[in-house]
Amino acid sequence: QRKNPFSNDSRLASKPVHTHRGDPTYGRPPEGSRTEQRGKDAHSHLGKEVEELCLVIRSTGQVGEDGHVSVTFGQLFETYVTISNKVVGILLRARKHGLVHFEGEMLWQGKDDDVIITLL
């Protein structure tokens, strides 16, 4: 579209043709675009799902001696799967943000039912 002489889209003409890895806009959608808005909406939605998962852990888990609430993966899976089928993905995201802790890289239903998930 940048080279199209019939295109009247001024947004395309004002942007550099190539971005490089050091550029802060590299790998990001154009500001104000619908793609950027969809990304922001998805980020907000995932944040709400992580928050809801933490609330479920708090309500179903038990407070340990250290004051943290813990629950087994099996118990959490059975409770949370009725809310969302993305339990493991949301758990991984919550761990990435430092909200929960559990051993191992991935949790599997049945195999890891006894793994303790701690709400930080």
Do 115 and 102 touch, CB atoms closer than 8 A? yes
Q: Where are the domains of the chain?
A: 34-119
CATH ID of 34-119, from 3.40.640.10, 1.10.10.1540, 1.10.10.10, 3.90.470.20: 1.10.10.1540
What is the C-alpha to C-alpha distance for residues 49 and 57, in angstroms, rounded to an integer? 12
Of 86, 84, 88, 82, residue with least CA distance to 113: 88
pLDDT tens digits for the chain (120 residues)?
556 666 666 555 555 556 778 888 888 888 888 999 999 999 999 999 999 999 999 999 999 888 999 999 999 998 887 777 788 999 999 999 999 999 989 999 889 999 999 999
Tokens read off for 106 = 């991935």
Which alpha helices (H) appear in the chain, and where do they start and end?
10-13, 34-60, 73-80, 87-96
Give the residue carrying structure tokens 């890891």: 112
C-alpha radius of gyration, the chain, whole number: 21
